[in-house]
Amino acid sequence: MLKSKTFLKKTRAGGVMKVVREHYLRDDIGCGAPGCTACGRAHEGPALEPQPLDPASSLWPGPHYLLPDTNVLLHQIDVLEDPAIRNVIVLQTVLQEVRNRSAPIYKRIRDVTNNQEKHFYTFTNEHHRETYVEQEQGENANDRNDRAIRVAAKWYNEHFKKMSAENQLQVIFITNDKKNKEKAVEEGIPAFTCEEYIKSLTANPELIDRLACLSEEGNEIESGKVIFSEHLPLSKLQQGIKSGSYLQGTFRASRENYLEATVWIHGDTEENKEIILQGLKHLNRAVHEDIVAVELLPKSQWVAPSSVVLQDEGQNEDDVEKEEERERMLKTVVSEKMLKPTGRVVGIIKRNWRPYCGMLSKSDIKESRRHLFTPADKRIPRIRIETRQASTLEGRRIIVAIDGWPRNSRYPNGHFVKNLGDVGEKETETEVLLLEHDVPHQPFSQAVLSFLPKMPWSITDQDMKNREDLRHLCVCSVDPPGCTDIDDALHCRELTNGNLEVGVHIADVSHFIRPGNALDQESARRGTTVYLCEKRIDMVPELLSSNLCSLRCNVDRLAFSCIWEMNHNAEILKTRFTKSVINSKASLTYAEAQMRIDSATMNDDITTSLRGLNKLAKILKKGRIAKGALTLSSPEVRFHMDSETHDPIDLQTKELRETNSMVEEFMLLANISVAKKIHEEFSEHALLRKHPAPPPSNYEILVKAAKSKNLEIKTDTAKALADSLDKAESPVFPYLNTLLRILATRCMMQAVYFCSGMDNDFHHYGLASPIYTHFTSPIRRYADIIVHRLLAVAIGADCTYPELTDKHKLADICKNLNFRHKMAQYAQRASVAFHTQLFFKSKGIVSEEAYILFVRKNAIVVLIPKYGLEGTVFFEEKDKPKPQLVYDDETPSLKIEGTMFHVFDKVKVKIMLDSSNLQHQKIRMALVEPQIPGISVPADTSNDLNEPGKKKRKLEK
């Protein structure tokens, strides 16, 4: 049966166009119940159970299926995901509304419906002849959808009556909409609110904790006192933004001070780019990363960023007078030029809440069900939740979701989602850091895995089309020990004309991952492989990352090759790109490759190839450095793990060999060659990588620090910086140069991916290259897959597709990749920090030599070369007399009780693990030398530094 929908649409030119859509109605859509004779086998895929043996409901003891409306799916997804809830009918009407309103929840619902054990069935009610409803005159879309859901629920119950009289199955309608529920009951449909139904499942009381608490601002809790001003409705906010009376921006909370935040204003205006907010009332219930509308305050009320560190530790959750007193503390007297544009939040344009990890702060009131939850991220406010399991959740890491923030509540309301495990346990803490850095780490879904090649896999004649056979070449790979995802391999051989042929062969991942399929979408979403201290979160499934794409030795593998003809001075005479088949002759570690190069007795083909590559790499590096490429330093650490417990037993800084540099040089050369090629072919939509030059103010700290050691650092160009760093040597202090390079790294900007058609500054500052991209690691970076696809089209080895030549789509991909790369970096640092804590937990207290990196007003930041560890030594402690501190920002230096500290001074510090705060355990450092009475501590263990340990033991009881 055919229906047609007609609607009018405004065109860009201002005209009106009539659009007619055909809508097919069918009789053969199954109801999803396996024993149904009326439908036969019309439904396919996951289906309902014939006899739902779900938890018995005291409201409806008989066998039943659930049919939720849109709002239940949107707000109670945590309940629906629970294993106890099964046999749910998800209507097409509901699914479409969810899809339009929340992409993350839509994805979660799709995952649940694909899970066979949950027995969720998607019923296409909009195309079923008996359940399709047309919008009536005067009826809005929302009311029409509510009616469509009720019609489907009624149809189901009548349909089941026909099935069999004695086996009376029922469909229960779940809605939180009061009017909709009343209408359903009038029409004879069993209907309950989500809360009523969940509370009736007496065998599963834990489900009640997962209910989202939906008290809107209208029906606030009786406790009366309004703390915050009302949020303006969206229409007023948009009006205000248009007229310029309000500004739209992203709310960024402060880690140091819970009463302060900044809003980054959207748009290109240079003035008022960043607005400061101070005080609870001005923050007005905004949460980190929300999109907000702010009103600028008059200049007389502008403030300066406070230098006070304030953590929200109040136990009495509604003590607002105390907050006001703390807010007065922030108002320090400062000069006029320090004042920044200041504002207040007038409304929320878009909430960007996510599930938060943290710990429960159990209420002191006995038998209380209301408790405060403290998130691990210090930028997120504490959340009030109701739970019956407080005593079991104490000392555990849990996940909580925010439901709302009424005007009369000091904290937002939320609900318990999941218990992750005991605090401090390796698995739990790894899960927390992955969740907190938004690293997608769920196992790959069946939909994704279905696009993998079938095993056993071999190269076919079809695969050989547009491909060169390079299996005869002496190719080898050089990687860190234990590497299984080998992206790249190299070869070097002498040609008959006396020149050298050098090849970089990269895994041909884009051959296996085809544009637009589920595998491609998942790889694009993940963006990068994340390497933690003892775990790897792959971007692509293991079959590809460690097997079919990994260029292991003695197996045929598909590759994308970049081959140069060079003379012996490493000057490129010819460059060509080709898809290829290679067979690597050796998989070496950096140490093994170095040993071959240095060996006097080895002269086989692999070793000769490596020596040729090493010789050319040295020339290439010299040339790069001459152009102004920077050689910076960052203390990278390696943990040696215990093979049984997997705990860190030793901590060392990584040793870099010549072979590390050799591989790096050819990877850089391949990336630059490919960047030029794809930009030649696709000037508007090449995916490139740039590294902006830092603003001069970034270098102040480096220049001042060098000056304090009578050295001059020039920063006008990258070349000037590189040359002055090379000259900044001290014969009496050899480590000084490394310290300067570490400090220079801190001054740098972040390198980012961008689309060539959306930007005109391509320069890569750190590499001193006018153009650059990423081509050499497609197993672990999605950017390289896009670059492979562009290059394949450029050389005629593969066909294009619409998204590849759409610069706006490419810009969106770049935005996600930049975010994922940044988060991966932070997650890796958090993993190193956690393993460092584990190391010092077992090692106990140690004293080590350190160098000062920064001096602050009341502390010094030091680096311990032996462990590559950075930490802060504070000189002002709670409940202790304050020492006399004189801070000089110009030198920079800090004078403590007459002893002077400059950047790069050598000190001795004591390192220990401070477990006084279970949630935020940290490495604590105290000064041992130089000795300052009342400040420095003896090198042996002292009692007061073990105080935190005592407190922890008490907690563990």
Residue 549: name the closest of 588, 591, 513 by CA.
513
Segment 122-133 shows an average pLDDT of: 87
Interval 274-285 mean pLDDT: 88
Distance separating alpha carbons of residues 320 and 141, to the nearest angstrom: 43
pLDDT tens-place string over residues 444-461: 988 899 999 998 889 998
Between CA 284 and CA 293 the distance in angstroms is 11
Q: What pLDDT was estimated at residue 541?
A: 93
Choose among 218, 162, 150, 219: nearest CA to 188: 150
pLDDT of 902 reads: 80
Residue located via tokens 């039943």:
64
Q: Specify whether the CB–CB gap between 628 and 718 falls below 8 A.
A: yes
Nearby residues of 465 by Cβ (< 8 Å), 6 or more positions away: none
Q: What is the pLDDT of residues 340-357, one digit of tens each?
A: 888 999 999 988 888 898
Three-state secondary structure string covering 249-293: EEEEECCCECCEEEEEECCCCCCCCEEEEECHHHHCCCCCCCEEE
Per-residue confidence at 955, pLDDT binned at 50, 70, 90? Answer: very low
Percentage of the chain modeled with pLDDT above 70: 85
For residue 52, say if its preceding peptide bond is cis, omega within 30 degrees of 0: no
**Mind giving me the DSSP string for 786-811?**
HHHHHHHHHTTSS---GGGG-HHHHH
Task: Please give the DSSP secondary-structure letter assigned to residue 398.
Answer: E
Task: Say whether pLDDT at 578 is over 50.
Answer: yes
Phi, psi of 166 (to 5 degrees): -80, -30
DSSP structural state of residue 58: S
> What pLDDT was estimated at residue 308?
56
For residue 210, is pLDDT > 70? yes
Residue carrying the six token digits 């930009």: 679
- The reported pLDDT for the residue numbered 46 is 60
Which tokens sit at 696?
């001069």
Burial class (CB in 10 A: 0-12, 13-18, 19+), 222: exposed
- Give percent above pLDDT 90 in the chain: 25
Residue 896 φ/ψ, nearest 5 degrees: -120, 115
pLDDT in tens, 752-779: 999 998 888 888 888 889 999 999 999 9
**Amino acid 946: pLDDT:** 40
Backbone phi and psi for residue 622, each to the nearest 5 degrees, phi listed first: -60, -45
pLDDT tens sequence across 526-569: 999 998 887 889 999 999 988 899 999 999 999 999 999 999 99
Between helices 736-747 and 718-727, what is the axis angle to 10°? 160
For residues 737 and 472, which has the higher predicted lDDT (pLDDT)?
472
Using one digit for the tens of pLDDT, what is the confidence trace for 398-432? 999 888 888 888 889 888 888 888 887 888 888 88
Please spell the DSSP secondary structure of 313-360, one letter per residue.
Answer: --SSTT-HHHHHHHHHHH-----GGG-B-BEEEEEEEE-----EEEEE
Q: Decide which of 664 and 53 is more confident.
A: 664
Closest CA to 115 of 79, 73, 153, 80: 80
For all residues of the chain together, what is the average pLDDT? 82
- How many CA atoms within 13 Å lie on the side-chain side of 934? 12
Residue at token pair 């020596």: 611
What is the reported pTM? 0.78
Does residue 164 have a pLDDT over 50? yes
CB 372 within 8 A of CB 384: yes
> Per residue in 137-163, pLDDT tens?
888 888 889 999 999 999 888 888 776
User: Is residue 290 a contact partner of residue 352, using CB atoms and an 8 Å limit?
Assistant: yes
- At residue 934 the predicted structure's pLDDT band, cuts being 50, 70 and 90, is low
Tell me whether residue 127 is exposed, middle or buried, using C-beta atoms within 10 angstroms of its C-beta: 0 to 12, 13 to 18, 19 or more: middle
For residue 701, give both structure tokens.
Answer: 């700290």
What is residue 953's predicted lDDT score, i.e. its pLDDT?
32
Interacting residues of 726 by C-beta distance below 8 A, sequence separation 6+: none
pLDDT at 693: 85
Question: What b-and-e string marks burial along 295-327, b requiring 16 or more CB atoms within 10 Å of the CB?
Answer: bbbeeeebbbbbeeebebeeeebeeeeebeebb
For 790-841, the pLDDT digits (tens) are 999 999 888 888 888 888 899 999 999 999 999 998 898 888 888 888 888 7
pLDDT of residue 557: 94
User: Residue range 192-198: average pLDDT?
Assistant: 88
Average pLDDT over residues 244-266: 86
pLDDT at 100 over 80: yes
Count of CB atoms situated within 10 Å of the CB of 14: 6
The residue assigned the tokens 């030599």 is 849
> Taking 90 as the threshold, does the pLDDT of residue 281 lie above it?
no
Average pLDDT over residues 29-56: 70
- What is the model's pLDDT at position 864? 83
In contact, 883 and 927? CB cutoff 8 Å:
no
pLDDT at 773: 94
pLDDT at 940: 62
Which pLDDT score, from 0 to 100, does residue 319 have?
55
pLDDT tops 50 at residue 221 = no
Residue 634 to residue 653: CA distance in whole angstroms: 10
Compare 871 and 415 and report the one with higher pLDDT: 415
Please tell me which residue, 813 or 19, carries the higher pLDDT value: 813
Is 687 in contact with 787 (CB distance < 8 Å)? yes
| Domains of the chain with CATH codes | 26-217 (3.40.50.1010), 844-937 (2.40.50.140)
The C-alpha atoms of residue 12 and residue 190 are separated, in whole angstroms, by 48
- Residues 697 and 716: their CA atoms lie apart, in Å, by 11
Tokens 């933004």 sit at which residue? 241
**Average pLDDT of span 243-268:** 85
110 vs 51 pLDDT, higher one: 110
Lowest mean pLDDT among 7-11, 57-61, 169-173, 604-608: 7-11
Q: What share of the chain is helix, strand, coil (3-state, %, to 5)?
A: 30, 25, 40
- Surface-to-core class of residue 706, CB atoms within 10 Å of its CB (0-12 exposed, 13-18 middle, 19+ buried): buried
Contact 272, 296 (CB under 8 A): yes
Q: Which long-range contacts (CB under 8 A, 24 or more apart) does 927-931 make?
A: 927/873, 927/875, 928/847, 930/899
pLDDT at 218: 37
Buried b (16+ CB within 10 A) or exposed e, 259-280: bbbbbebeeeeeeeeebbbbbb
Which range, of 709-713, 785-789, 878-882, averages the lowest pLDDT?
878-882
pLDDT for 43 equals 52
Check residue 637 and give its pLDDT.
Answer: 60
Which of 316-320, 430-434, 624-628, 832-836 is predicted least confidently? 316-320
pLDDT computed for residue 217 by the predictor: 41
Evaluate if residue 125 carries a pLDDT over 80: yes
pLDDT at 203 over 90: no
Cross-sheet strand order for the sheet of 869-874: 869-874, 859-864, 846-855, 906-914, 922-929
Mean pLDDT within 919-934: 75
